Amino acid sequence: MASKLTEKAASPLPKGNDVAAAWTELTDYLQSIADWFVVHWVEVLIALAVAVVLYVALSALKRLGVRYVRRNENLTGYRMIIGRAIAKTTRSFRFLIAAQLVASYASAPDWLESFIGFLFTITVVLQIAIWVRELLIGFIEKRNHSTEDSHETLDSAMKLIHIFVTFVIFAIAVVVILGNLGVDVTGLIAGLGVGGIAIGLAAQGIFADLFAAIAIIFDKPFSKGDTIQFDSFSGSVEEIGLKSTRVRAVTGEEIIISNANLLNKEIQNLTRRPHRRTKFAITLIYQTPADKADKVPDILQDIVESAGATFVRAGFVGFGDSSINYEVEFDGPSDFTASYHQRHRVGIAIFDRFAKEGLEFAYPTQTTFTSAPDGTMVMPYPQIQPVRQIEDGTDV
């Protein structure tokens, strides 16, 4: 008999008792709300009026943001960024702002104020996370708006950035929510830190190239189609990938180099220079008269300007083994083909003008002098004696 009583006591309450207990508890909550309203009805009405005005004002502000975004879909300015953030204001945030105002001002029951505060904390933190995400992504898109590139790498990078920013911000938001709710998040933060370090060490090469690709896209040391030079290679950029960059060399072969390795090198962007500078070395023979040699820089300047190039400088640079040395420098178009043809025109013009001026180009020459044992110079060619006649009229 005792065992049967024990089993009956240990058995769960019938379902009807659970419903009755829940109904009693709900009735107590409703009664406490009714008592609170009876005692503080003036404060409740004032708080409700202010809460309604605040809710309507926040809703109107959101509608303005949504309307501005729809009318200016192609813009990426600061107004557009702020408008997109405002348009992401959630209804739950607006409602709980109003509810928190009523509960705080009208001295709501403790259980009701605690419940509203719990929901308010979660909603506000998530709403701030949404705003921060929209602002960061908006600033990144604005920074990228000036580029003329529209290749797949940029789209892929933006998707990865969007995922990364969203994950980081909402992870921080969850930690903040748990901390405000009294949960010990020390172990969670330590676990996330250890996991992040492990993932980073395992894929550090991939992440290095990925972040290098993002740096190339947004910092823009070069763009697709630019001609760059690094190490002993020179060519045109064909594709900027998430892992590597492909460069078509001037000799025809394709050079594939990882993004991280490429950024560690000294890169010369040949496309962005305003002009191409050309230098000619000119040599004249030592037999050139001094007055003509003095006029060479003026002649070179006239030739360069007549060819449509920008004269920089020209003048005597030194005495060579078998020549008088000059240099001329001039600037031409940044385009390689146009600069190549201009260099040809200037070179031919120098050759033609110097011929007309009687200026002779030097080439390597060497004269050898031989001396006899007594020091007398021996000519390197046979001596020809002058023809003379003797008295009988014969030539000798």
| 219-269 maps to CATH 2.60.15.10 | no
What is the distance between the alpha carbons of residues 315 and 297, in angstroms, rounded to a whole number?
A: 5
What is the CATH class of 276-357?
alpha beta
Q: CA–CA separation, 325 vs 320, rounded Å?
A: 6
What percent of the chain lies above the pLDDT cut of 90? Answer: 16
276-357 shares the fold of 219-269: no
Residue 146 structure tokens: 């000036």
Structure tokens at 185: 């998040």
Q: How far is CA 7 from the centre of its chain?
A: 74
Q: What is the DSSP letter of 358?
A: T
CB 262 within 8 A of CB 212: yes
Does the structure show a pLDDT above 80 at 256? yes
- For residue 330, pLDDT over 70 is answered with yes
Give me the torsion for CA of 97, 99, 105, 109, rounded to 10°.
-140
* pLDDT surpassing 90 at residue 165: no
Domains of the chain by residue range: 23-206, 219-269, 276-357
Read off the pLDDT of residues 67-116 as tens digits, 9 standing for 90 and up. 877 877 666 677 788 888 888 888 888 888 888 877 777 777 777 777 88
